[in-house]
Amino acid sequence: MEEDRALSLAREAEVIRIGAEAVVSKLEWNGLKLVSKHRVPKPYRMPELDRWVRDRRTLHEAKVITLLRRLGVPCPAVIMIDRSTSTLYLQLIEGSELKKVLNRLPGERVDELALRLGEIVGRMHLGRVAHGDLTTSNIILDSRGRLFLIDFGLSMITDDLEELAVDIHLLDRSLDSVHHPVRSRFMRNFLKGYSRVVGREFMLKIVEKVKEIRRRGRYVEERRKKP
């Protein structure tokens, strides 16, 4: 029955993103607008191992999202899990990726969104969750001007400060590469919002970890350039 329902949903889906691990589609079911995230089989893995890996990752992502919603972090609700196909069905957040709109926004709005995002990420980090891929492609600005985090496929529950710092490092890199004109003011306001939630002392520890990550990255890059 579950498999039949999943196949029926799949036929009605419109693919919106194809990643290395999963195909993401949008669809409508019983009047609900949904997003499906189907983890595709990998032929290089043994079939039994492949099923286990996809099942574990699907369940983990659902667990993280459920935890974050309890913590008040805005992200899509889990509607259904089809373990037979390793497919997660989520609430569709209607809006635009922040990546597509940020450069067109007035400065005051950039400041507001950065401040709000800092508060959201701070709440997530206080809940011991690292997103794992925090870029402007995985942040949605909905039709009412609210921010939502999406795509927790690389997320982890952790007490490791460096894993949390990686989130901020990745956000900064995405701003530098795609939104360079607003990078400085965005990160300044982001850290202000982040500090409001986690406290100044914790924020400074995270910032220091981000600096360490950057230094290591520059060191590796310099070694690669040497003959």
CA distance 52 to 203: 37
Instruction: Copy the structure tokens of residue 50.
Output: 């492949």
CATH 1.20.1250.20 fits 95-225, yes or no: no
Question: Is 33's pLDDT higher than 60?
Answer: yes
- Give the pLDDT band (50/70/90) at residue 67: very high
The per-residue pLDDT for range 109-118, each reduced to its tens digit, is: 999 999 999 9
Question: What is the rounded CA–CA span in Å between residue 183 and residue 173?
Answer: 9
Between 3.30.200.20, 2.40.50.140, 3.90.25.10, 3.40.50.2000, what CATH number should domain 2-91 receive?
Answer: 3.30.200.20
Selecting among 50, 82, 111, 133, the annotated active-site residue is 133
133 flagged as catalytic = yes
Tell me the C-alpha distance between 179 and 99, whole Å.
Answer: 8
The structure's pTM equals 0.89
Q: Is the dihedral of CA 67, 70, 71, 75 positive or negative?
A: positive
